Structure 1
């Protein structure tokens, strides 16, 4: 019997073995495998610092999982088409499998690779793996993509048939002696090791870590998620976003795990739906991270204040709820979603700094750094996006703290210099009498900054700027 030629399975944002359609198809084809991850030189947007930290550990975990099954993960750097061509030439591979991506530059590269390989009689197959519904699967009755989340998600659920997740293979037969780069040679970890290593105190990258995180969430916090998800002082969110961004778990696996408790899971699954909606927006608007989605805002005059931006990035704005969030982000590579909205609103609408500067900072600091979700969410807050918060909605940074961190526990955790302030003043330390500040060992301007802007004046300023921009559009 003639031995089957090898198949290449190209891993991208799908660093798992379970529910991996491309891997499953290659195994069913038969023949030995080349399990490949490419550090693409021609990537449209390079991963930020925090995402590189996660990627290192995620690839390390995937490599170990593959080796436990008798296989090998091949790491290469270069232009993807060239890397794949070289592997085909060296190995005699006659099939390439991958799971689909949705950002236009990635799609264009994939399409060009597929066309070139098909012309040479190399089979190429791609699969849906990282979304429940692909962007072209959900459209309005007029045949256009949805621009509002609620009808999008309603239509998606109505037409969605979610099949059971695919099991992880128990054994992997791979081609012997394929050259691979060493992961450590990629220098994904930061030159300041404390920054990267401390992030991992809060997370466990890899497929096993993702499944454990989901299991822990479903075993308890999800019961209170609908009512308590806006409370950053409580551990009620799943923290699955970095795992989803790297494909260590699939939306189908999450959906399947939640199906036995549909009522309790409904609100949580709607957040998975927001991720799906964000990818639809990105698919039809590839410049979502750099161009306003909605018309009428290009004339907005942003304030390019480097000093104010630096204060925001370092959590030194004088608004404790904002500062707690920014310090949490820097320390852990993650931030609670309610706080994300508040810190984004503060940058855009209190400091009048372009939302793109904030999106770029999050891109560098978030472990998940998901292009679709990050861009869509920043535009939502800015009022420039799809189904966005209206431009005149300006989050009150201390009011949000008083409502969602009523005992100040979140602020005390991340802004410890304020820990001895009474609850009454923890969100507005500038209102505390001198004797209260003295008792807490705080001198504003020395131990903790005065507010860098006045809330009322900032609100009036930005509303006027938005009105002017819209009137001139």
Structure 2
């Protein structure tokens, strides 16, 4: 007789505690089969030593160990197209229900809808849950139910909602996991190998002086929380609950994350086009040789080069430096923000489509709530202000004090003038056509 089960599908929620969909699944009548699918549609785009895949793998090992030790259970790991995997499982088990936490990226929405349609057709209950954010895109709206496109009023409304909300942390209170010992595949079986880059543990104690120290890249005032929120090794509820309300600067960063997610949901065209459509008329130079020098930290601007070399070596870049590097690419070199966005997406441990896209469009001046196009960071002045003793630069640019260090690939005042003229031309042509 086919075993009757409920499936909890792990995705961007790689934890057992305070996991909304898992908690709901465990309240069902049938035992829960924990499932993770290495989605080949995503994996096929990645390098074989991608640090994020290695991080996911290690977190799954951790979950599997807890399931074995505490619940005499294990996680089923599959490789393939998620719909095909679920279809196969539906022929092997009598599935009562499938639970998963919602994902808000366009690919995930299409993937999940195909799965929902299949399960409903089979008469299998399917439930998606809010877990990745505190407030979803439809929960923080203007009075006329339209979405916010400017951060500050969104933040004010978000905080009003937050003040009325009671955060409840969900713990596993019952052992209703399936009693099974599934084989745990090797990383090589999935088609990957161990990465030399490790995802550090997050550390909230390092942000005690966040407001005063956050702009100085040589100070250790970084939580390294990004990858953990991205892959759900900790819940957003646990993080916010552990913050004191006076940590308003750090809380603002978490609100920016939800702001950009709701922008992605309401305005999905931002994935491939400018939020402000007139900026799609910008005549980018897109010099491939200059782009390569930017990628590898060979621009001759030390703060830019330090940031890019830190990114390439560690998968991380300080937030202030991210803004300088992005502005330099788009405005000094007039290279399309989508080129830079894609490069960051391939490298950042904390890559999340909504935030990466939103921040790149902010830097390029093409997005919602963007820095105006005429605001052009001077990377030399940024270095003098935020790395005055060259501590960050000397940490990452090992040839900085040598004759081999690159000469500047572009002169700042000329590049600034060229950028202003190019952006103004795009704005004028947009007005003329409208």
Shorter-normalised TM-score: what interval? Answer: over 0.9
Q: TM-score, normalised by structure 2?
A: 0.92
Correspondence 1:127 to 2:114? no
Q: In the TM superposition, what are the counterparts of 1:183-194 in structure 2 within 5 Å? A: 183-189=187-193
What does residue 452 of structure 1 align with? Answer: 409
Q: 1: CA distance between counterparts of 2:175 and 2:398?
A: 50
What does residue 167 of structure 1 align with? Answer: 171
Q: In the TM superposition, what are the counterparts of 1:365-384 in structure 2 within 5 Å? A: 365-384=347-366
Q: Is the 8 A contact 2:2 2:92 kept in 1?
A: no
* 1:42 CA displacement: 4.1
Say if 1:61 and 1:469 are closer, same or farther in 2 by CA, change over 3 A: same
Partner SS state of residue 113, structure 2: helix
What does residue 15 of structure 1 align with? Answer: 14
What does residue 255 of structure 2 align with? Answer: 273
* 1:172 CA displacement: 6.0
- Over residues 311-344 of structure 1, what are the superposed CA-to-partner deviations in whole Å (9 max), with x where a residue is unaligned? 1111111111110000100111010000000000
* 1:162 CA displacement: 4.2
Correspondence 1:223 to 2:208? yes
Structure 1 unaligned segments of length 5 or more: list them. Answer: 419-439
- Over residues 249-291 of structure 1, what are the superposed CA-to-partner deviations in whole Å (9 max), with x where a residue is unaligned? 1111111111xx211x111011000000010011112232321
Aligned partner of 2:230 among 238, 245, 259: 245
* 1:17 CA displacement: 1.0
Q: In the TM superposition, what are the counterparts of 1:44-55 in structure 2 within 5 Å? A: 46=45, 49-55=50-56
Q: In the TM superposition, what are the counterparts of 1:18-97 in structure 2 within 5 Å? A: 18-43=17-42, 46=45, 49-69=50-70, 70-97=72-99
Say if 1:223 and 1:86 are closer, same or farther in 2 by CA, change over 3 A: same
Q: 2: CA distance between counterparts of 1:231 and 1:454?
A: 25
Q: 1: CA distance between counterparts of 2:185 and 2:123?
A: 28
Q: 2: CA distance between counterparts of 1:170 and 1:402?
A: 57
What does residue 262 of structure 1 align with? Answer: 245
- Over residues 124-177 of structure 1, what are the superposed CA-to-partner deviations in whole Å (9 max), with x where a residue is unaligned? 111111101000111111211110111111111212314222125685632536
Q: Is the 8 A contact 2:75 2:182 kept in 1?
A: no
- Over residues 15-64 of structure 1, what are the superposed CA-to-partner deviations in whole Å (9 max), with x where a residue is unaligned? 11111011111112143221111122445994563433433333333333
Partner SS state of residue 188, structure 2: helix
Q: Is the 8 A contact 1:293 1:385 kept in 2?
A: yes
* 1:181 CA displacement: 4.6
Say if 1:330 and 1:68 are closer, same or farther in 2 by CA, change over 3 A: farther
Q: 2: CA distance between counterparts of 1:47 and 1:277?
A: 27
What is the aligned length?
425
What does residue 421 of structure 1 align with? Answer: none
Say if 1:471 and 1:97 are closer, same or farther in 2 by CA, change over 3 A: same
Q: 2: CA distance between counterparts of 1:297 and 1:455?
A: 22
Correspondence 1:385 to 2:367? yes
What does residue 428 of structure 1 align with? Answer: none
Say which is worse superposed, 326-335 or 55-64, in terms of deviation. 55-64
Partner SS state of residue 356, structure 1: helix
Correspondence 1:288 to 2:270? yes
Q: In the TM superposition, what are the counterparts of 1:108-187 in structure 2 within 5 Å? A: 108-160=110-162, 161-168=165-172, 171=175, 173-176=177-180, 181-187=185-191
Q: TM-score, normalised by structure 1?
A: 0.85
What does residue 472 of structure 1 align with? Answer: 429
Q: 2: CA distance between counterparts of 1:157 and 1:392?
A: 31
* 1:118 CA displacement: 2.4
Say if 1:167 and 1:322 are closer, same or farther in 2 by CA, change over 3 A: same
Say if 1:43 and 1:323 are closer, same or farther in 2 by CA, change over 3 A: closer
What does residue 436 of structure 1 align with? Answer: none
